[in-house]
Amino acid sequence: MGIFAVLALPLLLFGISGIIYIYQSVRWLLSKSAVQNKVVVITDAISGLGKECSRVFHTGGARLVLCGRTWEKLEALYDALINVADPSTYAPKLILLDITDINCIRDVAKEILNCYGCVDILINNASMKVKGAVQSISLELDKKIMDANYFGPITLTKAILPNMISRRTGQIVLINSIQGKIGIPFRAAYAASKHAAVGFFDCLRAEMEEFDISVSTVNPTFICSYHRQPAPGNWEASIWKFFFRKVAYGVHPVEVAEEVLRTVSSKKQEVLMANPIPRAAVYIRTFFPELFFAIVASGISEKLKTEEEN
């Protein structure tokens, strides 16, 4: 009886880990099969998150169209994907795109459509951040942030939409931010642009339902850069995620990319990737706004007091 009691806990943990591994492996395979042979467009593919999304969808057998501002970085990403890819996967197409150059986006959209004649999945990933007090940020920078985070994505989406509507199929994914749900001090321009994007794509979701076009938003907290996780689909990855993935406040680009793939596979309408504290902040902002504003204001007061003391 004593030996059984000693062995019971390790065996239980081993069994739970095995179930988690099998579940995640099956879910991962199903997600990857959902994008096989699909034409997937990823904006800002040369960013950290863009690279991970490119890798995830490429291994899933998607026909990628990768967009970015720098041709050399696009070529480097192309080489990286080709070197580790299965020979049966499609070679990615590369398109130069500066999402802040609104006047050129429609012409670039034509180039994108010319690659395969259609777009099945559009992933709006491009984004620009700025931090500072409202009075210290120029109006020109405010406009630049809005171009990158709002006008750019919606201009590209509007240019691609007619193709999806004519085919009555397609998926549009907006990789946004938790700051599209709550405003954080000293990030007014960024939060404003993210709120605007959420509003647009929420409306678009309802309008596109009659055409069987799904619209999803993925809202992570800030994307951090702690050490690279083990590759998905193996035992080490399952154990790592189960025990350690929520230790850091932010989320890793690998986690977000995997969630984007699962979102596309399941056609989720909205995903919030956040730890309990920022997740609670979203609900407090919704149901107890005065409490939320008081907490935020006290945080600023404490910050200013600390700076004065230093």
Catalytically active residues are: 190
Place of tokens 């800002």: 44
Residue 41 · residue 67 · CB < 8 Å: yes
Residue 275 · residue 246 · CB < 8 Å: yes
- Joined tokens for residue 64: 């990628």
> In whole angstroms, what is the distance from residue 286 CA to residue 297 CA?
17
> Given its phi and psi angles, is residue 267 left (phi above 0), alpha (psi -120 to 50 degrees) or beta?
left
Residue 118 DSSP code:
-
If DSSP states are collapsed to H, E and C, what string results for 228-291?
A: CCCCCCCHHHHHHHHHHCCCCCCECHHHHHHHHHHHHHHCCCEEEECCHHHHHHHHHHHHCHHH
**CA dist 288 to 185, 221, 236, 301, Å?**
18, 21, 41, 20
